[in-house]
A and B are shown apart, each in its own frame.
With several copies, the nearest count.
Chain A
Protein backbone atom coordinates (compact mmCIF):
# COMPACT_ATOMS: atom_id res chain seq x y z
CA UNK A 1 0.00 0.00 0.00
CA UNK A 2 2.73 2.35 0.96
CA UNK A 3 4.41 2.03 -2.37
CA UNK A 4 1.26 2.64 -4.32
CA UNK A 5 0.61 5.62 -2.24
CA UNK A 6 3.72 7.35 -3.41
CA UNK A 7 3.08 6.72 -7.01
CA UNK A 8 2.40 10.29 -7.91
CA UNK A 9 -0.34 9.23 -10.29
CA UNK A 10 -0.26 11.53 -13.23
CA UNK A 11 0.61 14.50 -11.14
CA UNK A 12 4.30 14.48 -10.54
CA UNK A 13 5.14 17.76 -8.99
CA UNK A 14 8.08 18.82 -11.07
CA UNK A 15 11.20 19.10 -9.04
CA UNK A 16 11.21 22.75 -8.23
CA UNK A 17 14.92 23.27 -8.05
CA UNK A 18 17.68 22.90 -10.52
CA UNK A 19 21.38 23.37 -10.24
CA UNK A 20 22.30 25.99 -12.72
CA UNK A 21 25.49 27.92 -13.13
CA UNK A 22 26.47 26.80 -9.67
CA UNK A 23 23.54 28.56 -8.19
CA UNK A 24 20.45 27.10 -6.79
CA UNK A 25 17.21 28.14 -8.30
CA UNK A 26 13.62 27.45 -7.58
CA UNK A 27 11.15 27.50 -10.39
CA UNK A 28 8.48 29.38 -8.61
CA UNK A 29 5.71 28.65 -11.08
CA UNK A 30 5.91 25.03 -10.08
CA UNK A 31 6.36 25.63 -6.46
CA UNK A 32 3.39 25.58 -4.25
CA UNK A 33 4.59 24.77 -0.78
CA UNK A 34 6.85 22.62 1.24
CA UNK A 35 4.71 19.51 1.03
CA UNK A 36 4.78 19.89 -2.69
CA UNK A 37 8.52 19.92 -2.63
CA UNK A 38 8.70 17.00 -0.32
CA UNK A 39 6.31 15.04 -2.48
CA UNK A 40 8.39 15.71 -5.53
CA UNK A 41 11.54 14.64 -3.77
CA UNK A 42 9.87 11.54 -2.55
CA UNK A 43 8.40 10.58 -5.89
CA UNK A 44 11.74 11.22 -7.53
CA UNK A 45 13.35 8.68 -5.25
CA UNK A 46 10.33 6.44 -5.11
CA UNK A 47 10.61 6.63 -1.44
CA UNK A 48 9.79 3.61 0.57
CA UNK A 49 9.79 3.78 4.31
CA UNK A 50 12.28 0.96 4.64
CA UNK A 51 14.58 2.03 1.85
CA UNK A 52 17.74 3.97 2.06
CA UNK A 53 16.28 6.55 -0.30
CA UNK A 54 14.95 8.23 2.76
CA UNK A 55 18.41 9.33 3.65
CA UNK A 56 18.87 10.71 0.17
CA UNK A 57 15.70 12.67 0.42
CA UNK A 58 16.75 14.04 3.74
CA UNK A 59 20.13 15.04 2.44
CA UNK A 60 18.64 16.62 -0.59
CA UNK A 61 16.24 18.48 1.58
CA UNK A 62 19.05 19.81 3.69
CA UNK A 63 20.72 20.75 0.44
CA UNK A 64 17.67 22.80 -0.41
CA UNK A 65 17.83 24.64 2.85
CA UNK A 66 21.51 25.36 2.42
CA UNK A 67 20.90 26.61 -1.05
CA UNK A 68 18.16 28.82 0.28
CA UNK A 69 20.56 30.47 2.65
CA UNK A 70 23.20 30.70 -0.06
CA UNK A 71 20.77 32.35 -2.41
CA UNK A 72 20.47 35.17 0.05
CA UNK A 73 17.81 37.70 -0.62
CA UNK A 74 15.89 35.58 -3.10
CA UNK A 75 14.21 33.70 -0.32
CA UNK A 76 12.70 34.97 2.81
CA UNK A 77 13.49 33.43 6.10
CA UNK A 78 9.81 32.64 6.36
CA UNK A 79 10.15 30.23 3.53
CA UNK A 80 13.30 28.76 4.88
CA UNK A 81 11.79 28.25 8.29
CA UNK A 82 8.78 26.58 6.81
CA UNK A 83 11.09 24.19 5.09
CA UNK A 84 12.81 23.69 8.38
CA UNK A 85 9.63 22.48 9.96
CA UNK A 86 9.41 19.84 7.30
CA UNK A 87 13.09 19.13 7.50
CA UNK A 88 12.78 18.58 11.20
CA UNK A 89 10.03 16.06 10.65
CA UNK A 90 12.08 14.37 7.99
CA UNK A 91 14.92 14.20 10.39
CA UNK A 92 12.66 12.66 12.96
CA UNK A 93 12.11 10.09 10.36
CA UNK A 94 15.71 9.57 9.67
CA UNK A 95 16.49 9.49 13.33
CA UNK A 96 13.79 6.92 13.86
CA UNK A 97 15.52 4.72 11.37
CA UNK A 98 18.73 5.01 13.27
CA UNK A 99 17.30 3.70 16.47
CA UNK A 100 17.73 0.03 17.21
CA UNK A 101 14.73 -1.83 15.97
CA UNK A 102 12.79 -3.99 18.34
CA UNK A 103 13.57 -1.71 21.21
CA UNK A 104 10.51 0.37 21.05
CA UNK A 105 9.67 0.22 24.70
CA UNK A 106 11.53 3.49 24.97
CA UNK A 107 9.03 6.29 24.86
CA UNK A 108 11.23 8.35 22.63
CA UNK A 109 11.45 5.62 20.07
CA UNK A 110 7.74 5.46 19.95
CA UNK A 111 7.51 9.18 19.61
CA UNK A 112 9.89 9.10 16.69
CA UNK A 113 8.08 6.28 14.99
CA UNK A 114 4.85 8.13 15.40
CA UNK A 115 6.41 11.18 13.90
CA UNK A 116 7.30 9.10 10.90
CA UNK A 117 3.81 7.73 10.53
CA UNK A 118 2.43 11.17 11.01
CA UNK A 119 4.52 12.61 8.27
CA UNK A 120 3.56 9.96 5.79
CA UNK A 121 -0.06 10.17 6.71
CA UNK A 122 0.14 13.89 6.21
CA UNK A 123 1.82 13.56 2.88
CA UNK A 124 -0.78 11.10 1.71
CA UNK A 125 -3.51 13.37 2.87
CA UNK A 126 -2.00 16.35 1.16
CA UNK A 127 -1.65 14.41 -2.05
CA UNK A 128 -5.29 13.36 -1.83
CA UNK A 129 -6.38 16.95 -1.47
CA UNK A 130 -4.19 18.00 -4.35
CA UNK A 131 -5.96 15.53 -6.58
CA UNK A 132 -9.38 16.49 -5.33
CA UNK A 133 -8.51 20.13 -5.88
CA UNK A 134 -7.75 19.36 -9.50
CA UNK A 135 -11.15 17.72 -9.85
CA UNK A 136 -12.86 20.67 -8.23
CA UNK A 137 -11.05 23.01 -10.60
CA UNK A 138 -12.28 21.08 -13.62
CA UNK A 139 -15.77 20.98 -12.23
CA UNK A 140 -15.82 24.70 -11.51
CA UNK A 141 -14.57 25.46 -15.01
CA UNK A 142 -17.28 23.31 -16.56
CA UNK A 143 -19.94 24.92 -14.44
CA UNK A 144 -18.73 28.38 -15.38
CA UNK A 145 -20.09 27.71 -18.87
CA UNK A 146 -23.62 27.83 -17.46
CA UNK A 147 -25.07 31.16 -16.53
CA UNK A 148 -27.89 31.48 -14.06
CA UNK A 149 -30.66 33.91 -14.74
CA UNK A 150 -29.97 36.98 -12.69
CA UNK A 151 -31.96 39.94 -13.82
CA UNK A 152 -33.84 42.71 -12.14
CA UNK A 153 -37.42 42.11 -11.09
CA UNK A 154 -40.11 43.19 -13.46
CA UNK A 155 -41.27 46.65 -12.41
CA UNK A 156 -44.69 45.41 -11.34
CA UNK A 157 -43.09 43.12 -8.76
CA UNK A 158 -40.42 45.57 -7.71
CA UNK A 159 -43.24 47.99 -6.93
CA UNK A 160 -44.78 45.46 -4.57
CA UNK A 161 -41.84 45.59 -2.21
CA UNK A 162 -42.80 47.00 1.15
CA UNK A 163 -41.92 50.61 1.59
CA UNK A 164 -38.61 50.99 3.29
CA UNK A 165 -38.73 52.27 6.82
CA UNK A 166 -35.72 54.44 7.30
CA UNK A 167 -35.00 55.82 10.71
CA UNK A 168 -31.40 56.64 10.23
CA UNK A 169 -30.02 60.15 10.54
CA UNK A 170 -27.11 61.22 8.34
CA UNK A 171 -24.78 60.97 11.32
CA UNK A 172 -26.00 57.48 12.22
CA UNK A 173 -25.32 56.56 8.65
CA UNK A 174 -21.86 58.10 8.79
CA UNK A 175 -21.13 55.99 11.87
CA UNK A 176 -22.05 52.85 9.95
CA UNK A 177 -19.82 53.99 7.10
CA UNK A 178 -16.94 54.71 9.45
CA UNK A 179 -17.19 51.24 10.90
CA UNK A 180 -17.51 49.57 7.52
CA UNK A 181 -14.59 51.48 6.02
CA UNK A 182 -12.28 50.99 8.95
CA UNK A 183 -9.24 49.02 7.87
CA UNK A 184 -9.73 45.66 9.43
CA UNK A 185 -7.08 43.95 11.45
CA UNK A 186 -6.42 40.51 10.18
CA UNK A 187 -9.07 38.59 12.05
CA UNK A 188 -7.71 37.21 15.31
CA UNK A 189 -8.92 33.80 14.43
CA UNK A 190 -6.99 31.87 16.95
CA UNK A 191 -6.13 32.18 20.56
CA UNK A 192 -2.39 32.42 20.84
CA UNK A 193 -1.04 29.10 21.88
CA UNK A 194 2.58 29.93 21.25
CA UNK A 195 3.31 29.68 24.92
CA UNK A 196 2.32 26.05 24.83
CA UNK A 197 4.99 25.15 22.38
CA UNK A 198 8.36 23.85 23.28
CA UNK A 199 10.91 26.63 23.10
CA UNK A 200 12.99 26.88 19.98
CA UNK A 201 16.05 24.70 20.10
CA UNK A 202 19.31 25.95 18.76
CA UNK A 203 21.25 23.54 16.60
CA UNK A 204 24.36 25.47 17.48
CA UNK A 205 23.88 24.98 21.19
CA UNK A 206 23.17 21.31 20.78
CA UNK A 207 26.21 20.93 18.57
CA UNK A 208 28.26 22.51 21.28
CA UNK A 209 26.92 20.06 23.88
CA UNK A 210 27.43 16.87 21.91
CA UNK A 211 30.67 18.15 20.38
CA UNK A 212 32.19 18.52 23.83
CA UNK A 213 30.94 15.12 24.89
CA UNK A 214 32.40 13.47 21.82
CA UNK A 215 35.71 15.25 22.27
CA UNK A 216 35.83 13.94 25.82
CA UNK A 217 34.73 10.39 25.25
CA UNK A 218 35.72 9.68 21.65
CA UNK A 219 32.91 7.27 20.72
CA UNK A 220 29.25 7.50 21.61
CA UNK A 221 26.08 6.05 20.21
CA UNK A 222 23.31 8.31 19.00
CA UNK A 223 21.25 6.91 21.79
CA UNK A 224 23.82 7.98 24.32
CA UNK A 225 24.12 11.34 22.71
CA UNK A 226 20.43 11.93 23.08
CA UNK A 227 19.60 10.13 26.32
CA UNK A 228 19.35 13.39 28.21
CA UNK A 229 17.25 15.12 25.56
CA UNK A 230 14.08 16.33 27.15
CA UNK A 231 12.16 16.74 23.94
CA UNK A 232 11.86 15.38 20.48
CA UNK A 233 13.04 18.69 19.20
CA UNK A 234 16.33 18.40 21.02
CA UNK A 235 16.83 14.99 19.45
CA UNK A 236 16.18 16.48 16.06
CA UNK A 237 18.50 19.38 16.69
CA UNK A 238 21.24 17.04 17.81
CA UNK A 239 20.78 14.97 14.72
CA UNK A 240 21.03 18.07 12.56
CA UNK A 241 24.12 19.01 14.50
CA UNK A 242 25.64 15.62 13.78
CA UNK A 243 25.02 16.03 10.08
CA UNK A 244 26.73 19.37 10.21
CA UNK A 245 29.66 17.99 12.13
CA UNK A 246 29.89 15.18 9.65
CA UNK A 247 30.07 17.71 6.87
CA UNK A 248 32.81 19.51 8.76
CA UNK A 249 34.62 16.17 8.92
CA UNK A 250 35.10 16.21 12.64
CA UNK A 251 33.13 13.01 13.20
CA UNK A 252 32.50 9.73 11.47
CA UNK A 253 29.34 7.75 11.70
CA UNK A 254 28.86 4.06 11.53
CA UNK A 255 25.77 1.95 11.38
CA UNK A 256 26.13 -1.81 11.18
CA UNK A 257 22.68 -2.49 9.81
CA UNK A 258 19.68 -0.51 8.71
CA UNK A 259 17.87 0.57 11.84
CA UNK A 260 20.89 -0.55 13.85
CA UNK A 261 22.73 1.46 16.40
CA UNK A 262 24.39 4.57 15.05
CA UNK A 263 27.88 4.97 16.38
CA UNK A 264 29.47 8.38 16.31
CA UNK A 265 33.21 8.78 16.55
CA UNK A 266 35.18 11.98 17.05
CA UNK A 267 37.70 12.04 14.26
CA UNK A 268 39.24 15.48 14.52
CA UNK A 269 41.53 14.60 17.39
CA UNK A 270 42.69 17.72 19.17
CA UNK A 271 41.87 19.89 16.19
CA UNK A 272 40.31 23.17 17.01
CA UNK A 273 36.60 22.99 16.36
CA UNK A 274 33.78 25.21 17.37
CA UNK A 275 30.07 24.88 16.98
CA UNK A 276 30.02 28.48 15.75
CA UNK A 277 31.23 27.33 12.37
CA UNK A 278 28.16 25.25 11.65
CA UNK A 279 25.46 27.57 12.49
CA UNK A 280 24.60 29.79 9.58
CA UNK A 281 21.95 27.67 8.00
CA UNK A 282 19.99 27.27 11.14
CA UNK A 283 20.78 30.19 13.36
CA UNK A 284 20.07 33.47 11.75
CA UNK A 285 20.80 35.95 14.47
CA UNK A 286 19.94 38.85 12.28
CA UNK A 287 16.50 37.62 11.46
CA UNK A 288 15.03 35.04 13.65
CA UNK A 289 16.07 33.24 16.72
CA UNK A 290 13.75 30.35 16.13
CA UNK A 291 15.89 27.58 14.87
CA UNK A 292 13.38 24.86 14.49
CA UNK A 293 9.99 26.44 14.42
CA UNK A 294 7.72 24.14 16.26
CA UNK A 295 4.34 24.89 14.93
CA UNK A 296 2.77 26.29 11.82
CA UNK A 297 1.14 28.96 13.88
CA UNK A 298 4.50 30.46 14.53
CA UNK A 299 4.82 31.41 10.96
CA UNK A 300 4.01 35.02 10.52
CA UNK A 301 3.92 37.55 7.81
CA UNK A 302 2.23 37.29 4.52
CA UNK A 303 1.27 34.40 2.45
CA UNK A 304 4.25 32.49 1.39
CA UNK A 305 2.56 30.50 -1.22
CA UNK A 306 3.37 30.84 -4.78
CA UNK A 307 -0.01 31.29 -6.22
CA UNK A 308 -0.41 28.81 -9.03
Chain B
Protein backbone atom coordinates (compact mmCIF):
# COMPACT_ATOMS: atom_id res chain seq x y z
CA UNK B 1 0.00 0.00 0.00
CA UNK B 2 2.59 2.51 1.05
CA UNK B 3 4.71 3.91 -1.74
CA UNK B 4 7.63 4.28 0.59
CA UNK B 5 8.26 0.67 1.04
CA UNK B 6 9.15 -1.93 -1.46
CA UNK B 7 7.82 -5.43 -1.59
CA UNK B 8 10.29 -7.80 -0.04
CA UNK B 9 11.31 -10.52 -2.43
CA UNK B 10 8.52 -13.05 -2.48
CA UNK B 11 6.79 -11.76 0.63
CA UNK B 12 8.69 -14.47 2.40
CA UNK B 13 8.06 -13.11 5.87
CA UNK B 14 4.31 -13.06 5.51
CA UNK B 15 4.24 -16.51 4.00
CA UNK B 16 6.24 -18.04 6.80
CA UNK B 17 4.24 -16.26 9.46
CA UNK B 18 2.46 -18.83 11.60
CA UNK B 19 -1.20 -19.02 10.80
CA UNK B 20 -2.46 -17.91 14.17
CA UNK B 21 -5.85 -18.81 15.55
CA UNK B 22 -9.00 -18.48 13.52
CA UNK B 23 -10.27 -14.94 14.22
CA UNK B 24 -13.85 -16.08 14.12
CA UNK B 25 -13.32 -18.13 17.22
CA UNK B 26 -11.78 -15.30 19.22
CA UNK B 27 -13.88 -13.21 21.60
CA UNK B 28 -15.38 -10.38 19.61
CA UNK B 29 -14.83 -12.24 16.37
CA UNK B 30 -14.23 -10.57 13.05
CA UNK B 31 -15.46 -7.12 14.13
CA UNK B 32 -13.01 -7.08 17.04
CA UNK B 33 -10.15 -8.20 14.79
CA UNK B 34 -11.02 -5.45 12.30
CA UNK B 35 -11.02 -2.96 15.15
CA UNK B 36 -7.60 -4.08 16.29
CA UNK B 37 -6.10 -3.63 12.83
CA UNK B 38 -7.80 -0.26 12.38
CA UNK B 39 -6.09 0.90 15.55
CA UNK B 40 -2.65 0.58 13.94
CA UNK B 41 -3.26 1.77 10.38
CA UNK B 42 -1.64 4.95 9.18
CA UNK B 43 -3.78 5.50 6.17
CA UNK B 44 -7.20 4.30 5.08
CA UNK B 45 -7.21 0.52 4.71
CA UNK B 46 -9.33 -1.35 2.19
CA UNK B 47 -11.67 -4.20 3.01
CA UNK B 48 -9.47 -6.41 0.87
CA UNK B 49 -6.36 -5.61 2.87
CA UNK B 50 -8.28 -6.35 6.04
CA UNK B 51 -9.53 -9.65 4.65
CA UNK B 52 -5.96 -10.61 3.76
CA UNK B 53 -4.68 -9.85 7.25
CA UNK B 54 -7.61 -11.56 8.94
CA UNK B 55 -7.66 -14.46 6.51
CA UNK B 56 -11.43 -14.35 6.22
CA UNK B 57 -13.67 -13.77 3.18
CA UNK B 58 -14.00 -10.12 2.22
CA UNK B 59 -17.78 -10.29 2.63
CA UNK B 60 -17.35 -10.99 6.31
CA UNK B 61 -15.06 -7.99 6.62
CA UNK B 62 -17.58 -5.76 4.86
CA UNK B 63 -20.30 -6.95 7.21
CA UNK B 64 -18.11 -6.30 10.22
CA UNK B 65 -17.21 -2.81 8.96
CA UNK B 66 -20.85 -1.87 8.47
CA UNK B 67 -21.71 -3.18 11.89
CA UNK B 68 -18.82 -1.34 13.53
CA UNK B 69 -19.65 1.89 11.80
CA UNK B 70 -23.19 1.71 13.11
CA UNK B 71 -22.00 0.82 16.57
CA UNK B 72 -19.64 3.76 16.75
CA UNK B 73 -22.44 5.98 15.55
CA UNK B 74 -24.60 4.64 18.36
CA UNK B 75 -27.30 3.08 16.22
CA UNK B 76 -27.18 -0.62 16.65
CA UNK B 77 -26.85 -3.33 19.18
CA UNK B 78 -30.12 -5.21 18.89
CA UNK B 79 -28.42 -8.58 18.63
CA UNK B 80 -28.71 -11.27 21.29
CA UNK B 81 -25.39 -10.35 22.86
CA UNK B 82 -25.44 -6.59 22.60
CA UNK B 83 -27.81 -3.84 23.57
CA UNK B 84 -28.01 -0.30 22.25
CA UNK B 85 -24.73 1.53 22.54
CA UNK B 86 -23.72 5.08 23.24
CA UNK B 87 -22.56 7.28 20.39
CA UNK B 88 -18.82 7.21 20.63
CA UNK B 89 -16.15 9.88 20.34
CA UNK B 90 -14.61 7.81 17.59
CA UNK B 91 -15.97 7.59 14.09
CA UNK B 92 -15.26 4.85 11.58
CA UNK B 93 -15.23 6.34 8.11
CA UNK B 94 -14.81 5.16 4.57
CA UNK B 95 -12.59 7.73 2.86
CA UNK B 96 -10.14 7.72 -0.02
CA UNK B 97 -11.09 4.15 -0.84
CA UNK B 98 -10.45 2.75 2.62
CA UNK B 99 -11.47 2.70 6.27
CA UNK B 100 -9.96 4.63 9.10
CA UNK B 101 -10.75 5.83 12.63
CA UNK B 102 -11.31 9.54 13.12
CA UNK B 103 -12.26 11.60 16.11
CA UNK B 104 -15.76 12.98 15.91
CA UNK B 105 -15.86 16.59 14.80
CA UNK B 106 -17.79 17.72 17.89
CA UNK B 107 -14.64 17.20 19.90
CA UNK B 108 -12.30 19.13 17.61
CA UNK B 109 -11.60 21.81 20.21
CA UNK B 110 -10.61 19.29 22.86
CA UNK B 111 -8.73 16.90 20.58
CA UNK B 112 -6.85 19.62 18.71
CA UNK B 113 -4.83 20.32 21.84
CA UNK B 114 -3.42 16.82 21.82
CA UNK B 115 -2.48 16.70 18.17
CA UNK B 116 1.14 17.66 17.98
CA UNK B 117 1.57 18.99 14.51
CA UNK B 118 -1.88 20.39 14.25
CA UNK B 119 -3.89 20.35 11.11
CA UNK B 120 -2.21 21.92 8.17
CA UNK B 121 -2.84 25.55 7.52
CA UNK B 122 -5.82 26.58 5.50
CA UNK B 123 -5.49 27.05 1.77
CA UNK B 124 -5.69 30.46 0.18
CA UNK B 125 -8.43 31.30 -2.29
CA UNK B 126 -5.92 31.06 -5.13
CA UNK B 127 -4.79 27.63 -3.97
CA UNK B 128 -8.38 26.43 -3.60
CA UNK B 129 -9.32 27.54 -7.10
CA UNK B 130 -6.26 25.91 -8.57
CA UNK B 131 -6.97 22.74 -6.62
CA UNK B 132 -10.55 22.76 -7.90
CA UNK B 133 -9.47 23.08 -11.51
CA UNK B 134 -6.94 20.28 -11.13
CA UNK B 135 -9.44 18.05 -9.33
CA UNK B 136 -12.01 18.35 -12.07
CA UNK B 137 -9.68 18.42 -15.05
CA UNK B 138 -7.11 15.84 -14.03
CA UNK B 139 -4.78 14.83 -15.44
CA UNK B 140 -4.06 18.37 -16.47
CA UNK B 141 -1.05 20.45 -17.47
CA UNK B 142 -0.15 23.57 -15.56
CA UNK B 143 -0.61 25.69 -18.65
CA UNK B 144 -4.20 24.55 -18.96
CA UNK B 145 -4.92 25.38 -15.33
CA UNK B 146 -3.31 28.71 -15.91
CA UNK B 147 -5.49 29.33 -18.96
CA UNK B 148 -8.64 28.50 -17.04
CA UNK B 149 -7.74 30.70 -14.09
CA UNK B 150 -6.33 33.49 -16.21
CA UNK B 151 -3.21 33.82 -14.10
CA UNK B 152 0.10 32.15 -13.67
CA UNK B 153 -0.28 29.23 -11.26
CA UNK B 154 3.30 27.98 -10.96
CA UNK B 155 3.87 28.80 -7.35
CA UNK B 156 0.41 27.72 -6.21
CA UNK B 157 0.95 24.37 -7.93
CA UNK B 158 4.26 24.01 -6.11
CA UNK B 159 2.56 24.69 -2.81
CA UNK B 160 -0.14 22.14 -3.52
CA UNK B 161 2.45 19.51 -4.43
CA UNK B 162 4.35 20.26 -1.27
CA UNK B 163 1.21 19.90 0.77
CA UNK B 164 0.68 16.51 -0.82
CA UNK B 165 -2.72 17.41 -2.24
CA UNK B 166 -1.68 17.02 -5.87
CA UNK B 167 1.19 15.28 -7.61
CA UNK B 168 2.47 14.79 -11.10
CA UNK B 169 0.65 11.77 -12.39
CA UNK B 170 1.69 11.62 -16.03
CA UNK B 171 3.40 13.34 -18.90
CA UNK B 172 1.61 14.67 -21.92
CA UNK B 173 2.75 12.40 -24.76
CA UNK B 174 2.72 15.28 -27.22
CA UNK B 175 4.07 18.29 -25.40
CA UNK B 176 6.01 16.51 -22.68
CA UNK B 177 4.26 18.70 -20.12
CA UNK B 178 3.83 17.33 -16.61
CA UNK B 179 0.22 16.45 -15.91
CA UNK B 180 -1.12 16.91 -12.40
CA UNK B 181 -3.78 15.03 -10.51
CA UNK B 182 -5.08 14.85 -6.97
CA UNK B 183 -3.66 12.46 -4.38
CA UNK B 184 -5.33 10.06 -1.94
CA UNK B 185 -4.50 12.62 0.76
CA UNK B 186 -6.69 15.10 -1.09
CA UNK B 187 -9.59 12.66 -0.98
CA UNK B 188 -8.95 12.03 2.69
CA UNK B 189 -8.83 15.71 3.57
CA UNK B 190 -12.10 16.14 1.73
CA UNK B 191 -13.61 13.08 3.35
CA UNK B 192 -14.66 11.48 0.09
CA UNK B 193 -14.05 8.06 -1.40
CA UNK B 194 -13.03 8.80 -4.97
CA UNK B 195 -12.76 11.70 -7.36
CA UNK B 196 -16.16 10.67 -8.70
CA UNK B 197 -17.66 11.75 -5.38
CA UNK B 198 -16.73 15.38 -5.94
CA UNK B 199 -19.75 17.67 -6.18
CA UNK B 200 -21.02 17.97 -9.74
CA UNK B 201 -19.72 20.87 -11.73
CA UNK B 202 -22.65 21.04 -14.14
CA UNK B 203 -25.09 23.01 -11.98
CA UNK B 204 -22.56 25.82 -12.07
CA UNK B 205 -22.15 25.63 -15.79
CA UNK B 206 -25.49 26.08 -17.48
CA UNK B 207 -25.29 24.55 -20.91
CA UNK B 208 -21.55 24.19 -20.83
CA UNK B 209 -20.98 20.68 -19.66
CA UNK B 210 -18.73 19.92 -22.56
CA UNK B 211 -15.94 22.12 -21.47
CA UNK B 212 -13.31 20.05 -23.17
CA UNK B 213 -14.43 21.43 -26.47
CA UNK B 214 -13.29 24.88 -25.74
CA UNK B 215 -10.67 24.61 -23.15
CA UNK B 216 -8.57 22.63 -25.53
CA UNK B 217 -8.56 25.64 -27.75
CA UNK B 218 -5.95 27.74 -26.15
CA UNK B 219 -5.60 31.26 -27.25
A residues with a Cβ closer than 8 A to B are 1, 4-5, 32-36, 38, 82, 86, 89, 115, 117-118, 121-122, 124-137, 139-154, 156-158, 160-166, 168-171, 173-174, 176-184, 186-187, 189-191, 193, 294-297, 299, 301-308
Contacts and interface: CB of A to CB of B under 8 A. Distances in A.
A141 B178 CA distance: 23
B205 interface: yes
Contact of B191 (A5, A131, A146, A303): A146
A164 B163 contact: yes
Given A158-B162, A190-B176, A296 B123 contact: no
A7 B194 CA distance: 31
Contact of A296 (B91, B133, B152, B192): B152
A124 B205 contact: yes
Q: Which of A193, A301, A303 has the most CB of B within 10 A?
A: A303
A33 B124 CA distance: 13
Interface stretch (B52-60, B63-71, B74-82, B195-203): B195-203
Contacts of B217: 118
Given A129-B129, A297-B143, A35 B149 contact: yes
A191 B177 contact: yes
A117 B10 CA distance: 44
Contacts of A156: 108
B126 A129 contact: no
Nearest 7 CB-CB pairs, A to B?
Answer: A35-B150, A177-B132, A145-B108, A128-B204, A303-B155, A145-B105, A174-B199
A187 B161 CA distance: 12
A128 B200 CA distance: 10
- Looking at chain B's contact residues, is the secondary structure mostly helix, strand, loop, or mixed? mixed
A173 B141 CA distance: 21
B217 to A, nearest CB: 6
A296 to B, nearest CB: 5
A304 B3 CA distance: 12
Given A82-B151, A133-B125, A115 B219 contact: yes
Contacts of A150: 40, 42, 158
B212 to A, nearest CB: 11
Contact of B215 (A125, A127, A171): A125
B8 interface: yes
Contacts of B198: 170, 173-174, 177
Contacts of B142: 189-190
13 contacts: A4-B206, A121-B208, A126-B149, A132-B132, A144-B119, A161-B162, A164-B189, A173-B190, A177-B132, A178-B201, A179-B129, A181-B136, A305-B156
Interface in B129-174: 129-133, 135-137, 141-143, 146-156, 158, 161-165
Contacts of B161: 152
A136 B205 contact: no
B105 A162 contact: no
A152 B8 contact: no
B115 interface: yes
A128 B198 CA distance: 14
A277 B198 CA distance: 54
B29 to A, nearest CB: 18
A182 B205 contact: yes
B57 to A, nearest CB: 25
A155 B214 CA distance: 39
A191 B174 CA distance: 9
A90 to B, nearest CB: 12
Contact of B152 (A147, A305, A306): A305
A151 B40 contact: yes
A167 B108 CA distance: 32
B150 A157 contact: no
B39 interface: yes
B101 interface: yes
B19 interface: no
Nearest to B157: A189
B116 A133 contact: no
A34 B101 CA distance: 43
A307 B101 contact: no
B152 A133 contact: no
A146 B161 CA distance: 23
B150 A184 contact: yes
A191 B126 contact: no
**Residue among A146, A161, A307 with the highest chain B CB neighbour number at 10 A:** A146
B123 A157 contact: no
Nearest to B2: A307
Most chain A CB inside 10 Å of its own CB: which residue of B125, B129, B191: B129
Contacts of A177: 132-133, 135-136, 198, 201
